[in-house]
Amino acid sequence: MADITMCNGKGCTMTETCYRFKAPKGHYQSYFTESPHNNKVDEENNTICDYYWKQDKLRGAKNRGVNLKL
């Protein structure tokens, strides 16, 4: 179980790379009560979220921040 507040991914375009969505879920897992992105998008229609936690696709490692490159 990930000891983080997880996201249900509702309305988000970044679920495939977000650790808060992809992390292993536990029986007593905490979730945001509402989607943290509040339907904010950039000019390319990508979700903007202050709680986005980029997951390394190759190793499954997690990185904080939107601007990190694989």
Domain ranges of the chain: 1-70
Number of Cβ within 10 Å of residue 15's Cβ equals 15
Q: Name the nearest CA neighbour of 46 among 17, 21, 23.
A: 17
Tens of pLDDT along 26-67? 888 999 998 888 888 889 888 899 999 888 755 555 555 554
CB-count burial class (<10 Å; 0-12, 13-18, 19+) for 9: middle
The answer to whether the beta carbons of residues 65 and 54 sit under 8 Å apart is: yes
Q: Name the nearest CA neighbour of 22 among 10, 8, 3.
A: 8
Record the pTM: 0.70
Number of Cβ within 10 Å of residue 63's Cβ equals 14
